[in-house]
Structure 1
Amino acid sequence: METSACTVTVIVPVYNAERYIRRISEALVNQDFFHYEILFVNDGSTDGTLEILSDVCRENEKQLITVISIENAGVSNARNVGVQNAKGQFITFVDSDDLVTPDYLTNLYDPFKNNVRGDLISMVNTTYVDGITIDVQERKSASCMDFESALRLMLERTRVIDVDVWGKMFPKSLLKKNLFTPNIIFEDLDIWPRLLKSSQIKDIYISGTYSYIHIEREGSLMHSNASMIDGTVIDVINQGMNIVVEEFPTLLTAYTERTISALSGVLEKKHGENFYWRNEVFEHLCKYATFSNFINSNSVKTKLLILLASFKNLAFYNYILARAKGY
């Protein structure tokens, strides 16, 4: 594969990240990789983020860094702006409060370098840190699997691979055809079915290295997104379900359980242990044919166990089970 002046673009959406932005900037500048750029998309930060990024740019002798400032419109829009301005043939996303190892880009790019067709998505294993413990998964060896099998593992939350878009490398041409949907949460659950349906990507390559360090903390994107819950979330979930039903029916159970679990988790952060919002969520979901078909399937009791685990509320679980029989 030929190497252009800029082979890889690293896109970092940034919002009020003054506590972390210098740290991730240094980690990205000090990669053992050549021919790449770092594109920070400042999503209307109101703290000192932009000033720090300006200092980092002045201090950077390699001239790797570009900063684009936009009005605040959410992480999906920021990622899209990054994709549209990327110079590299390949794109990887990094969250501003996470960390990467010095060989992060090398480990992601090597599969493309060794595959002249480039018909794959590359990802590295992830270390999860919650501030106290470091959770390193057992997978250590590199492997390659078909896209559908990989998506199943993402949806089943095995953490062999995860549904988030960080820690992965995509051909830019693929992302330009499948931009993120703005103003929604669960943008990762939204984009993967679309990528799987529309692309010529056949394989996902998983590096044997742990090169991405995801730091989970209060105030993270998942926590802050709780305020964005509205009816469009259900529309996004339904669109994903429709793709799965039409193109990949064997993934319907995994996709439905994953989206319900994600929705319930965010809503619980927003509303706490309140029974009534759960009732409203179920009513919305049951308006859609794909969910109604799912919930009426023969293995309904097994599939609804995820709700019991997610909501941790036996009364609500029994309520859902009773209501499901009426749809």
Structure 2
Amino acid sequence: MNKVSVIIPMYNSDKSIRRLLNELSEQTYQNSEYIIVDDGSKDESYSIVKKYIEETHDNRFELYHQENKGVSSARNLGLQHASGEYLIFIDADDKIEKLFIEKYVNKIKSTKSDITIFPINVISSLSSDKDKIVINNSLINKDNITVKDLLSNIFAGYIDTYLFGFIFKRSLWKNVFFNERIAYKEDYLSICTILFNNVNCKIVSGSEPYYWYCDNQFGLSGVYTKKRVEDGLYVSKLIVKKLCSEKSALYGLAVGACLVAELESINFAVDSDDDKLFRKHSDEFINLFKKAKFVSKKTKIKRQIQYFLLKSNLYKISHYLKRK
């Protein structure tokens, strides 16, 4: 039975971590190590996990503590301690089904693949699933996904790079770490880096979701912070620059994805009443638009309208009206 390393960064999760510990303990797949990294929690999270391990004597659990450095740093510490053949990431605020690890491992083993991607259940509250939606199901049950296919779906927005939707061969993460300077799209950057570094790796997909992602912003839109928009744009531009230098066929799709990051910056500038920032990112959007490619006609038309509104100085009015 192949060993699986499960990395769980934790920060102020005392309201949910007990439930997750029980769900991990009840997993049908036994050969796992649960690497929990407390990122300087100010609540009782660390004490709860420590007590649980002492009371259960379950040697699958490993607990580490560091001062608050962010989720990327916590995951990097987890990677340093991982020893399994396969690698899974979990967030401490979510929930998993009993078959979660078993299904992930069985799929990647039976197909002899390097990466397997699964659909994800998204809910707004752990206490109810009445508003559940399923994401990352555009490539359901396919056993011959190329790196180009997956990147195309990521850039088009059909696949989100939430780490808990993937199981990886740990060898793919050799010399790959999370950028600790960014707090948004750090997973996006790491997964793209792995795909860029392993263009011939075998990728397959599962058909059913076994992970429940609790999105506290579920149903909300336009939630931006300066750090978020800066990090998102930094990552998007980094990927565009790399693909441009390689004259990749994916360059146009990456530019299309970068337009979304530019729009987040534009909307943040409008909401912050920062005209200088608005003009800067408006000009960048207009210049990038001509280089972009789009998978769907609907997305292309949407970006064309946004391009027209920015060119004709009508975007702010449109944005304000949408907020009403």
TM-score, normalization by structure 1: 0.78
Q: How does 1:112-123 map to 2 (within 5 A)?
A: 112-115=108-111, 118-123=112-117
Match of 1:191 in 2: 190
TM-score, normalization by structure 2: 0.79
Q: How does 1:106-255 map to 2 (within 5 A)?
A: 106-115=102-111, 118-131=112-125, 133-136=131-134, 142-144=141-143, 145-158=145-158, 161-184=159-182, 185-199=184-198, 201-218=200-217, 226=225, 228-229=227-228, 234-247=233-246, 249-255=248-254
- Residues 77, 180 of structure 1: 8 Å contact kept: yes
Q: Identify if the C-alpha distance between structure 1 residues 297 and 157 changes in structure 2 by more than 3 Å, giving closer, same or farther.
A: closer
In the alignment, the residues of structure 2 paired with residue 53 and residue 272 of structure 1 have an alpha-carbon distance, to the nearest angstrom, of 43
RMSD of aligned C-alpha atoms?
3.6
- Measured after TM superposition, the shift of residue 194 of structure 1 is 1.4
Match of 1:324 in 2: none
- Residues 115, 202 of structure 2: 8 Å contact kept: yes
- Measured after TM superposition, the shift of residue 31 of structure 1 is 0.8
- Residues 38, 66 of structure 1: 8 Å contact kept: yes
- Residues 286, 310 of structure 2: 8 Å contact kept: no
- Residues 234, 285 of structure 1: 8 Å contact kept: no
Q: Identify if the C-alpha distance between structure 1 residues 245 and 304 changes in structure 2 by more than 3 Å, giving closer, same or farther.
A: farther
Q: Does 1:70 align with 2:66?
A: yes
- Residues 43, 72 of structure 1: 8 Å contact kept: yes
2:154 alignment partner, SS class: helix
In the alignment, the residues of structure 1 paired with residue 270 and residue 54 of structure 2 have an alpha-carbon distance, to the nearest angstrom, of 45
Q: Identity of paired residues, percent?
A: 21
Q: Does 1:16 align with 2:37?
A: no
* Structure 1, unpaired ranges of 5+: 322-327
1:62 alignment partner, SS class: coil
Match of 2:96 in 1: 100
Deviates more, 1:249-258 or 1:166-175: 249-258
- Measured after TM superposition, the shift of residue 259 of structure 1 is 3.9
Which residue identity does 1:171 align to in structure 2? K
Deviates more, 1:89-98 or 1:130-139: 130-139
Task: Tell me the number of residue pairs that the alignment of Structure 1 and Structure 2 aligns.
Answer: 303
Which residue identity does 1:25 align to in structure 2? L
In the alignment, the residues of structure 2 paired with residue 212 and residue 123 of structure 1 have an alpha-carbon distance, to the nearest angstrom, of 12
In the alignment, the residues of structure 2 paired with residue 294 and residue 249 of structure 1 have an alpha-carbon distance, to the nearest angstrom, of 16
- Measured after TM superposition, the shift of residue 317 of structure 1 is 6.5
- Measured after TM superposition, the shift of residue 276 of structure 1 is 2.5
Deviates more, 1:120-129 or 1:223-232: 223-232
In the alignment, the residues of structure 1 paired with residue 76 and residue 251 of structure 2 have an alpha-carbon distance, to the nearest angstrom, of 28
Deviates more, 1:225-234 or 1:100-109: 225-234
Task: After superposition, give the CA deviation of every residue in 1:21-56 in whole Å (9 maximum; x if it has no partner).
Answer: 112221122111021011111111111111111122
1:250 alignment partner, SS class: coil
